[in-house]
Structure 1
């Protein structure tokens, strides 16, 4: 049996993030073979992952990142079971590393199959499930492309937002971030009126009509009054029509237009861990 030194154990711990005793046991089982010990730890992770497959991974970190050309962005959420793990510096660092890989992948499947330090992203998640002892998985995977893409991550990594502008102009970075902060704070259901699902519109009209009937309004007046209420709904719940949180005397679209009359918000993605 090979003699396992403290230095070897520490090297394996730094390489994998596993606990000292787990690393020592893996090296003993592998008879000192470093690569084999890593494989043993991975297999342990797979066993833990299987045991925890039905657990709820509702905590985690939501990370948004944008490419160097600022025309493409991605949001991923690295999910876990507890807030304690979600706040761990190593966990958050891993989430940022993975977001960088996700930026280059065209889909979630391609991302999970991508290389991460000699293993796939999915294998890394399985390994970390074994190391941490919690279910670790990728939840959200959202991408956005536009002439200019900005991003914002809310304190605590609980909300991440991407916003797209129709032009890349001076000041676009600050404005895109402001709009992303708006989306983070106000949680709009769509970019504009056209983006609101027809079923939601119908439901809001019916709710408005029921309220008006209870107020005793004549039936022939309901449609027109309900349309007015619907406009208010769009103003409160669609991003470009919302009052800008830094200056509620103008809408978000009016604020963005300060960059130029032909500059507008063309898309956004928002991921929240709640």
Structure 2
């Protein structure tokens, strides 16, 4: 029988993240062959993944990363089944590493195919499913590019946001982070009025009309009053029109203009658990 040392077990543990006993058992089964032991652990992950394929991975970590030159950013959600795993340091560390990789990818599919220490990200997720015993998946992938991109991660990694600005003027870092915090806190449905889809607008108009009818307003007046209510809907639910959370006397768009009258928010992305 091949002798398995503590050093062998630790080496395998460092390479895979698997538990000590899982690593020892894999090495025993592989008769000390390191690569074969890794394959055994990955096969275990495949079995666990197959058993848990129908589970919901609604917990996890929402992470945002921005490139060194602040011209592109990515936000992902690494999902798992329980809050306990989602708060685990090694799980959060994995989420950060995947987000770094995602900066160089255009889509979720490209990220899943990317190399992660000699295996694909998809294979790494299966491996970690075997290690953790829960379904793990990339539940969200969002990316933006702009002259200046800022980010924000809400406490506990529950929400991550990205904001693009039309200029990298002095102070853009502070403004972009403030607006990213706004997006996290206020959950806007679109950047501005033009970003709200027609179905949502139609629905809001009908809701407003029904409310007005309930108040006894004349039918001839409904369209004009409903349009006024729609303007309020846009103000409350589109990012640049919302009251700025740090100074409600100005809108987000007005706050951003503190960098210069021509500076605008070009895009935002918001990812959450669930």
TM-score, normalisation: structure 2: 0.99
RMSD over equivalenced CA pairs, Å: 0.8
3-state secondary structure, aligned to 1:217? coil
Partner SS for 1:156: helix
For residues 199 and 116 of structure 1, the distance between their equivalents in structure 2, rounded to whole angstroms, comes to: 42
* Secondary structure of residue in 1 paired with 2:140: strand
How far did residue 35 of structure 1 move?
1.2
**Runs (5+) with no aligned partner, structure 2:** none
Q: Which runs of 5+ in 1 are unaligned?
A: none
The match for 2:206 is 206
Superposed CA offset, 1:78-130 (max 9, x none): 00000000000000000000000010112211111111111111111000000
Distance in 1 (CA, whole Å) between partners of 2:84 and 2:201 is 40
How far apart are residue 268 of structure 1 and its match?
A: 0.2
Q: Does 1:226 align with 2:226?
A: yes
Mean alpha-carbon deviation: is it higher for 22-31 or for 78-87?
Answer: 22-31
| 1:14 Cα offset (Å) | 2.0
**1:257 Cα deviation from its structure 2 partner:** 0.5
Q: Which residue of 2 aligns with 1:102?
A: 102
Partner of 1:143: 143
How far off is 1:218 after superposition? 1.1
Give every structure 1 segment of 4 or more consecutive aligned residues whose post-TM-superposition deviation is greater than 4 Å.
none
- Mapped to 2, the partners of 1:14 and 1:117 lie a distance apart of 12
For residues 57-92 of structure 1, give each alpha carbon's deviation from its aligned partner in whole angstroms, at most 9, with x where no partner exists: 000001000111111111111000000000000000
- Partner SS, residue 69 of structure 2: coil
Cα deviation code 1:135-157 (max 9, x no counterpart): 01111011111111100000000
Displacement of 1:248 in angstroms is: 0.1
TM-score normalised according to structure 1 size: 0.99
Equivalent pairs counted in the alignment come to: 274
Q: For residues 3-47 of structure 1, give each alpha carbon's deviation from its aligned partner in whole angstroms, at most 9, with x where no partner exists.
A: 111221122112211111111111011110111111110111111
Write the mapping of 1:55-204 to structure 2, written as runs, cut at 5 A. Answer: 55-204=55-204
